[in-house]
Amino acid sequence: MKRVLVMNGPNLNLLGTREPDVYGAATLQDIEAAMASLAEELGVTLRFVQSNHEGVLIETLHEARGTCDAVVFNPGAFTHYSYALRDAVVASGLPVVEVHLSNIHAREEFRRTSVIAPVCVGQISGFGADSYLMGLRAAAACAANER
Amino acid sequence: MKRVLVMNGPNLNLLGTREPDVYGAATLQDIEAAMASLAEELGVTLRFVQSNHEGVLIETLHEARGTCDAVVFNPGAFTHYSYALRDAVVASGLPVVEVHLSNIHAREEFRRTSVIAPVCVGQISGFGADSYLMGLRAAAACAANER
Amino acid sequence: MKRVLVMNGPNLNLLGTREPDVYGAATLQDIEAAMASLAEELGVTLRFVQSNHEGVLIETLHEARGTCDAVVFNPGAFTHYSYALRDAVVASGLPVVEVHLSNIHAREEFRRTSVIAPVCVGQISGFGADSYLMGLRAAAACAANER
Amino acid sequence: MKRVLVMNGPNLNLLGTREPDVYGAATLQDIEAAMASLAEELGVTLRFVQSNHEGVLIETLHEARGTCDAVVFNPGAFTHYSYALRDAVVASGLPVVEVHLSNIHAREEFRRTSVIAPVCVGQISGFGADSYLMGLRAAAACAANER
Amino acid sequence: MKRVLVMNGPNLNLLGTREPDVYGAATLQDIEAAMASLAEELGVTLRFVQSNHEGVLIETLHEARGTCDAVVFNPGAFTHYSYALRDAVVASGLPVVEVHLSNIHAREEFRRTSVIAPVCVGQISGFGADSYLMGLRAAAACAANER
Amino acid sequence: MKRVLVMNGPNLNLLGTREPDVYGAATLQDIEAAMASLAEELGVTLRFVQSNHEGVLIETLHEARGTCDAVVFNPGAFTHYSYALRDAVVASGLPVVEVHLSNIHAREEFRRTSVIAPVCVGQISGFGADSYLMGLRAAAACAANER
Amino acid sequence: MKRVLVMNGPNLNLLGTREPDVYGAATLQDIEAAMASLAEELGVTLRFVQSNHEGVLIETLHEARGTCDAVVFNPGAFTHYSYALRDAVVASGLPVVEVHLSNIHAREEFRRTSVIAPVCVGQISGFGADSYLMGLRAAAACAANER
Amino acid sequence: MKRVLVMNGPNLNLLGTREPDVYGAATLQDIEAAMASLAEELGVTLRFVQSNHEGVLIETLHEARGTCDAVVFNPGAFTHYSYALRDAVVASGLPVVEVHLSNIHAREEFRRTSVIAPVCVGQISGFGADSYLMGLRAAAACAANER
Amino acid sequence: MKRVLVMNGPNLNLLGTREPDVYGAATLQDIEAAMASLAEELGVTLRFVQSNHEGVLIETLHEARGTCDAVVFNPGAFTHYSYALRDAVVASGLPVVEVHLSNIHAREEFRRTSVIAPVCVGQISGFGADSYLMGLRAAAACAANER
Amino acid sequence: MKRVLVMNGPNLNLLGTREPDVYGAATLQDIEAAMASLAEELGVTLRFVQSNHEGVLIETLHEARGTCDAVVFNPGAFTHYSYALRDAVVASGLPVVEVHLSNIHAREEFRRTSVIAPVCVGQISGFGADSYLMGLRAAAACAANER
Amino acid sequence: MKRVLVMNGPNLNLLGTREPDVYGAATLQDIEAAMASLAEELGVTLRFVQSNHEGVLIETLHEARGTCDAVVFNPGAFTHYSYALRDAVVASGLPVVEVHLSNIHAREEFRRTSVIAPVCVGQISGFGADSYLMGLRAAAACAANER
Amino acid sequence: MKRVLVMNGPNLNLLGTREPDVYGAATLQDIEAAMASLAEELGVTLRFVQSNHEGVLIETLHEARGTCDAVVFNPGAFTHYSYALRDAVVASGLPVVEVHLSNIHAREEFRRTSVIAPVCVGQISGFGADSYLMGLRAAAACAANER
């Protein structure tokens, strides 16, 4: 059975309470529950990690080598400057799907550039909690193809 | 029953034969067939349009006002400069989901900027034919919400 | 009697219904009617063309050589990237007056640059339907001077 | 009866003698006479101010609050850098129409940017003395609408 | 007893009436009164100058050499381009504290750069009338240190 | 009684010993003592946090929601690139005052841009330890207004 | 016998009458006649297409797959922005030679960048009608090498 | 006898006392005396104007039309942004020699660009008071050539 | 006996397994062993630290003050954006030698800029594990000179 | 009989051995032989110069004044920065045809700009040794026209 | 007796024949003769060097150390890119005066930047042969001050 | 026995006397002597070349093909613009180690970019004469690996 790591970056622990007009009313727990449900349907297992620490996210990616088959990753604001996470994505050797709740291409200029996307399989942005569900579908498909 | 317009821009009629290492081996007909199948599952009807003419794409969006509920749109290379299509997206008053077969953030510099994404609901890029299927799910959800 | 071509670019056929807070409630037909009335007063005849196709606009300028004496032109979003239209303006050999309904200098960054204005007689922007009427006065004056 | 302030910035007192190939042979007095004539026709009164001093122009705008209903303003070279005048335009609370004799979009690079236009109603450039007359029509219309 | 010059640039004479949502409802007189009160507490004397004329502000700084011990300066829009004022600040030989009512770092792009701040002691921005009071405290401290 | 969080970013634990010509001879303890004294005068309570870890600063802001009323924040070098902290400032829902010991506008180019200031109430820079005291006054005033 | 497509973009139908000081006095018919003569000498057949419509040019390239062996292409002003044509050149799988009548490197800044040249065999610019004849020689050589 | 206007911009009235390490110990009076002496030798008469007001400098150039034959001009910091003075230089119709005490090319980045030099005869910078004397020689030569 | 801190940043714990074509097959342990051997030869002692946490690296530099004499530092991807580490290098007061396994000047654009190098003694890049050995020689020499 | 100078810049003496995948297998001698053969056909005489010294190339152009009628010039890497050669091209008063073996528009960013092309008749790039033969045809035609 | 080196860069040997409308009709010999005459008056001796070879100019500056007291230098087009000459100017330890015949600030964009001026005493540009005479006066004064 | 070319660019012949605070007191002869001593230890032979002529450096690299096994190269100021040397490095087919005495990343902006480093094995900068010794170790290792 394929294993998918679902990793969330800084400030995403506050989902639902933080700027709900931008990020929606769903909490991270709500999203994880919806993902768990879809995972069952897709026949994959999930591991959830959220951290506000760049180093923890890097090390989670390191540990995912050999223990996971694909990653759904919302890097939060690290999207725009964490070249260390970019290198960790490559180092993981795993297919990584970048997801965003809001449409980052429709917001402040700095949010339009992702330093991580160029080393991911692809990017999904703008569909709220659905971005995660689509990301999970994509990650599951990648994991299956890896075999 | 919600109606979704699936619109493809220039050169996408050659899918499957054009740079298959970049765009995959599926033809546009293959993709449309897969979408039709998913549409049935989702309970939406589809209208397919492909054109290499910017003006035709603009007018297709105009006509979609009132006859469609959401749009899945791969603008091809128009993504990077057609402000006229951007205006047409806004003018349509419809939720539009931008999709790309390849990960545009991992290619030439000029492909990383979409002048259309800022007026779309969101963007999905990098998952081959699956980008369209995810786009259809997203569009169907938007259409439902519109009601 | 001097002849003035009034040419409108992409999406302007939707005037009145498209983003009325930006572009006003007058339809293109309303504007053409007002122009026709002013044309009578100024003693000039008008020819109206609207197209969403860059190629049609180019060819309309080509045909205006010898059949028209001046042009009032709202290039819509082509304003910002159609160097082909710029060349067509020069090729027409006619005095062209660029007009815009909204104040393009007060909107998104990309709208502040016109690639066409440098080869026009001048530019009028921000006065809604009145931009066209002023443009007609200017074009009529140019046409008269050409004689 | 609506009152329109007609304000000219630096070096415009030399009109007619200064670079006539660029700015035309009409003097500022000629232009003011033509405007006075049109004002009568439009049923508005005019106040003329020309100054080479940024501070005087700022204070003229301040004084126009409550004593004028609209402004026709050729900021001359201040167009390109006087953020203080930009703020004064906003502070005046009046509709301001920016006018230019020459087509600033067809000249040196630095002349193509107006720091004042974004806070004006609109901009008219390239029609010589007619730019002022059109500007007066526009200002008169704005003044009427303000009521 | 230390003397502090409080200098205000263009359009600040309209405080309270000009864009109150941005600049607050306090008039310049209100601010000066509050400063006078604080000055008494701090044991410094104040001199107030407001001008919309760059030249007057320059000369006020010149005259402050030897007659004042520190300066609180809100350059208004001159902040963003008046290198002449920058040179005058240096020429004055006095410690100058730059203050702004609004948070200039949260507004239009052009407001984020101060050409004067690099030659000031420091900059305070965003606290409305309190920016001046803090600026006065800072200037008074500088003046004391100068001794 | 209002509660103010005083938060310091990387390297500020070395204050007094690190580049004293740039940052002054006062230690962080000296500054905290002076702030405590002023806090008493202002009738507010203080909480002090210093961390070299971006993640810790983010989580400190998260915890401040509901437990503090305002924040005085010197982000150190994170000022120039930590969009994650920027998002945390917004997520906290609290008024945050950005302070800097040195005049960041008079140093290396990269120090002149704060990615955090646009979401703060305001910024105070250049007054050494006094920047913190002024920041505390401002934060206390904000906290009072929040009620 | 090798077949060469000779394709001309917008405004080139006006050759000979349009800005003859820039583009020369030869008409497109003159150039085609000279090319036909050289083609005979080189033992290749020619197909001529001129269009002002980007979409038509794209589709002409699509059709050239399998029916032509090489292309001589003057994209006119599309040279500078039509990424759709660039993609069509790649999609055609044919060797394409970009030609220009005028020396585009000696004209306005925007004309110095070709978005199409990077996917062509090479570029010839500045030799008037001879650019086409040289382009034909180069295309014929490419076609021969393809075998 | 030829007449030369010697015009100095903002802050130059403080010469000798202002940043003597940058601008030298000579006062403006010292420089004017040296120039007067050289003028006698060269057989030209001089008119001296210094102003901190852009408007006064503009009007001094206006008045120089017909009353002077050439100009030696140190625009001070206006060098870097006063397009209004640039226009006044052109409007004067006189040969203008731009001079600077310090080597502006060896100082801050912003000082390396002169918006006025492109419309002057030439520029002399870096030789302290001697810049003025050389400028006077050049201006006198220009004035003679004008005849 | 001089003490040298050898500090490695994010992802370098994976050396040997991560992108071996870019970073070589040697593990971090291999490199540390080779360094230990050279250290013995050079008569210095080594302390090894690797961390994926920016904060830990900062604090390791803080602790090195007084306990080490020089530093060999491979900041990994922090090289390109961690101004906090840059400040920590300065705060340490120690000579720091920046090393890189790959030639950062021959890779992606973003890798060519080091925000840390300007405050280091020097930079060595491109020699694989040998970069560290050369760095150790350089650090040992610096340490010796410090005495 | 017209005389054509064929001039090659730095590193072109190594043709055939240097990066044959980029520059082809033909040696400079091979190319010169092919050109000599074509020259005979065209009825022109050739002079061949290759130098790795910018100064020698400059002086060869100086000497070509009066002794040659046109130039075929491959400036090698000088293409991208030698303004001295650009000036020498102008100083020669001769028609110069710039040629390149590889398609410089399809390589590294820096190779896409030629500082010499703006003063040449035209540019031919991308056709290997054929670039020289086409360049010779163009130069011969120019030489003929000069008469 | 002070010795002044007069050094001219590439293409200046052609003065008088090369673009006389830009550079004037005087030959380099004419200028040297005029300088010799002024040198006598000023009591300095001259050494003239012109070279089209960057290396020769560099070595001439090296040799000037100890054998000359000041330099008048027209670097020709090397002005805009020869950092090697810039370093040689510094290495010479001599005061160097940069001169230009034409007003480089009024020509092509690339001519407005001198990479050499920042290490010179000053720059004189735009006065034709007189630029050299003024440069000689300045160099002689520098040489005298060096003593 | 492996042979290493040690090549130095412009102005490096003056080492020891030129800006000793930047480049150190060691002469080029001192450095060469130290290198010779290390070469003996490493078992390689050295060839020393210094030239101020770009062309000579290019040709020295050409000649090194087949006669040397590796190169230690300090290009001096050519580092920043000589694309011709960059091409020569590639053409030599040899491993080249770029070395700099000073830390080029800590100096003027223009010195931070090396156009040569991208085609070298690596770069060593900032260690004075030791940069050369380290460079020799690296070059010797490369030469050994080439076998």
Q: What is the ipTM of this complex?
A: 0.95
* pLDDT (average), residues K111-123: 97
J115 and K111 Cβ atoms separated by less than 8 Å: no
pTM (two decimals): 0.96
Interface test with I, best of F8, F15, F18, F19 (most I CBs within 10 A): F18
Digitized pLDDT (tens) for each residue of chain F, 147 residues in all: 899 999 999 999 999 887 788 778 889 999 999 999 999 999 999 999 999 999 999 999 999 998 999 999 999 999 999 999 999 999 999 999 999 999 999 999 999 999 999 999 999 999 999 999 999 999 999 998 865
* J130 interfaces chain G, CB cutoff of 8 Å: yes
Question: What are the CA-CA distances from residue A93 to residues A90, A118, E88, H146, K120 (Å)?
Answer: 6, 14, 59, 76, 55
**Per-residue pLDDT at F146:** 65
* H100 interfaces chain D, CB cutoff of 8 Å: no
Angstrom distance (rounded) from CA D129 to CA D72 = 13
- Residue I81 — φ and ψ, nearest 5°? -150, -10
Query: Which residue of chain C has the CA closest to B54?
Result: C53
Active-site hit among B62, B83, B100, B105:
B100
A106 and A96 Cβ atoms separated by less than 8 Å: no
Which residues of D fall within a CB distance of 8 Å from H87? 10-11, 76-77
Which residues of E fall within a CB distance of 8 Å from H8? none
Please compute Rg for chain A using Cα positions: 14
Question: What are the CA-CA distances from residue C15 to residues B62, C19, C29, C33, H43 (Å)?
Answer: 12, 8, 9, 14, 70
* K51 interfaces chain J, CB cutoff of 8 Å: yes
Rounded to the nearest angstrom, the gap between the alpha carbon of residue J50 and the centroid of all alpha carbons in its chain is 10
Q: Which residues of chain G have pLDDT under 70?
A: 146-147
**Per-residue pLDDT at K17:** 81
Are J117 and G131 inside 8 Å of each other by CB?
A: no
Q: How confident is the model at residue A147 (pLDDT cuts 50, 70, 90)?
A: low
G105 and J123 Cβ atoms separated by less than 8 Å: yes
Angstrom distance (rounded) from CA I140 to CA L127 = 12
CA distance to partner chain L, nearest, from residue I102 (Å): 8
Catalytic residues of A: 23, 100
> Closest by alpha carbon to G120, among J127, F3, I102, B95?
J127
pLDDT tens readout for residues A7-42: 999 999 999 887 788 778 889 999 999 999 999 999
Q: Which residue in the set L81, L84, L115 is minimally distant from J10, CB to CB?
A: L84
Active-site hit among C53, C62, C80, C100:
C100
Catalytic residues of H: 23, 100
Query: Which residue of chain G has the CA closest to C54?
Result: G53
The answer for residues whose C-beta is within 8 angstroms of residue F129's C-beta and 6 or more apart is F24, F26, F30, F31, F34, F101
Interface test with A, best of B86, B123, B136 (most A CBs within 10 A): B123
* D53 interfaces chain E, CB cutoff of 8 Å: yes
- Asked whether the predicted pLDDT for residue D147 surpasses 60, the reply is no
- Asked whether the predicted pLDDT for residue J70 surpasses 60, the reply is yes
**Per-residue pLDDT at E1:** 87
Which residues of A fall within a CB distance of 8 Å from B130? 137-138, 141
For residue I65, with 0-12 CB atoms within 10 Å meaning exposed, 13-18 middle and 19 or more buried, which class applies? Answer: middle
pLDDT tens readout for residues D42-101: 999 999 999 999 999 999 999 999 899 999 999 999 999 999 999 999 999 999 999 999
Catalytic residues of L: 23, 100
Q: Which residue in the set F11, F55, F110 is minimally distant from I84, CB to CB?
A: F11
Could you give the angle at the alpha carbon of J129 between the alpha carbons of J124 and J132, nearest 5°?
A: 45
Q: Which amino acid is at H135?
A: G
| E83 given a catalytic annotation | no
pLDDT tens readout for residues L37-64: 999 999 999 999 999 999 999 999 999 9
The H or E element spanning position H91 is: helix H83-92
pLDDT tens readout for residues L102-126: 999 999 999 999 999 999 999 999 9
Query: Which residue of chain B has the CA closest to A123?
Result: B125
* F16 interfaces chain I, CB cutoff of 8 Å: no
User: What's the token pair of residue G52?
Assistant: 């002002």
- Asked whether the predicted pLDDT for residue E146 surpasses 80, the reply is no
Contact yes or no, D with J (3+ CB pairs under 8 Å): no
pLDDT tens readout for residues I14-24: 998 877 887 78
Are C122 and D125 inside 8 Å of each other by CB?
A: yes
**Per-residue pLDDT at B74:** 98
- Asked whether the predicted pLDDT for residue A146 surpasses 80, the reply is no
pLDDT tens readout for residues K55-102: 999 999 999 998 999 999 999 999 999 999 999 999 999 999 999 999
pLDDT tens readout for residues H14-56: 998 877 887 788 899 999 999 999 999 999 999 999 999 999 9
User: What's the token pair of residue I115?
Assistant: 């925000």
Give me the helices (H) in L1-128, please: 20-23, 28-42, 54-64, 83-92
Query: Which residue of chain D has the CA closest to E81?
Result: D81
Q: Which residue in the set E112, E118, E130 is minimally distant from F106, CB to CB?
A: E118
CA distance to partner chain B, nearest, from residue A75 (Å): 16
**Per-residue pLDDT at I146:** 65
Helix F129-146 with E129-146: angle, nearest 10 deg: 160
CA distance to partner chain B, nearest, from residue A77 (Å): 17
Q: Which residue in the set B53, B62, B84 is minimally distant from C76, CB to CB?
A: B84
Angstrom distance (rounded) from CA J52 to CA C37 = 72
- Asked whether the predicted pLDDT for residue D13 surpasses 70, the reply is yes
> Closest by alpha carbon to G141, among G13, G51, G38?
G38
